[in-house]
Amino acid sequence: MTTISAVSTNKIPTQFWRRSNARISIALCLIGVLALLPFLAPLVHPVIPPITPAHVNLTATNIPPFTDNHLLGTDSLGRDVLGMALWGSRTSLALGLLAALLAVTFGSLWGAVSSLVGGLIDTVMMRIVDGLLAIPPLILLLALSALVNGPAFPETLPRALLTLFDVTSYSLGFLPFVTVISVIAATSWLEAARVAHAKISAIRLEEYVEAARALGAGTLVILFRHLVPNASRIIMIQATLLISDAIVMEAGLSYLGIGLSPDTPSWGTMLRQASSDLFLGNWWAPLVPAALISWTVLSVELLGEGLLEAIGHDDRLR
């Protein structure tokens, strides 16, 4: 995962602007294509209830690409690969955006409050972050995912939440989607907390913060009116980078069978279900979701790097 540390500088060379503009332009073009995929899903591959995007058709299994109206072929269960990829983009992209937003919001507030309060509380809060960072992210991710995906977990939730997530005796509804977002956010907020703590520790020593404190401004006023807005650009860049991390994490969890349910189209579930297709000579079923995941990660990383050089050159990646 990518972390950010603050290093001050006063001038941004012209070559950085040119390089960052090129990266941002390429990234925006790639992201623009990805953003169209969820809207193309009902147009290219319409489904009529009770039929779902993951509907199985055993009479059309392992059809090669560009054959029988299947542009990208079908998998071993007869599902159209293009249709699954388009519908899966809705799940994967939404999950990445929501998980990154949740992680960067909680992590930034944690780091900001820790830096602003200072003293023993600051030490304890940041040692908690350091302790969790000492655990390999994959181990922490798998442990949390196994916990919330246990068969007894829905029984521990209040009935109001079960109703909200449309959980019934025969369906988990939106619960797997929510739990995967929560698990990913729970392992991703640590980097955001360190970034916010480092940035705000430098900002809170500025004269305007001391002036606001001298005028009687409270802790929350200083935090949300002065510190967080001035650290917002580096927080925004961190959120951008976390999107790709979240999508890769979801793919990994779904591939291991502890992520989204198999009937939920996503690029991760497509990879898991198509892994066995390779033994049948079906190379296109796993290739499409793998290519889309790589495309997303590349475009988001390019955008993050470009923004870092364009508006946050004083905050370098390490």
Q: Is residue 88 packed enough to be buried (19+ CB in 10 Å), middle (13-18) or exposed (0-12)?
A: buried
> Are 79 and 52 within 8 A, CB to CB?
no
Q: Whole-prediction pTM value? A: 0.79
pLDDT in tens, the chain (318 residues): 444 444 444 444 555 556 667 778 888 888 888 889 888 888 887 877 766 777 777 777 888 888 877 888 888 888 888 888 898 888 888 888 898 889 988 988 888 888 888 788 888 988 998 888 887 777 877 777 777 666 667 777 777 776 776 666 666 667 778 888 888 888 888 888 888 888 888 877 777 777 777 777 676 777 777 777 777 777 788 788 888 888 888 888 887 777 777 777 888 888 888 877 777 788 888 888 889 998 988 888 888 777 777 765 444 433
Contacts of 123 (CB under 8 A, 6+ apart): none
> Are 182 and 148 within 8 A, CB to CB?
yes
Please report, for residues 149, 150, 189, 265, 309, the alpha-carbon distance to residue 179 in angstroms, rounded to integers and kept in the order given: 8, 11, 16, 16, 35
> Are 122 and 115 within 8 A, CB to CB?
yes
Please report, for residues 107, 164, 222, the alpha-carbon distance to residue 116 in angstroms, rounded to integers and kept in the order given: 14, 37, 9
**Encoding tokens for residue 111?**
């780091």
Q: How many other C-beta atoms lie within 10 A of the C-beta of residue 45?
A: 17
Q: d(Cα 251, Cα 259) in Å, to the nearest integer?
A: 8
Q: DSSP letters along 179-199, please?
A: HHHHHHHHHHHHHHHHHHHHH
All structural domains of the chain, each given as residue ranges with its CATH number in brackets, are 11-47+76-317 (1.10.3720.10)
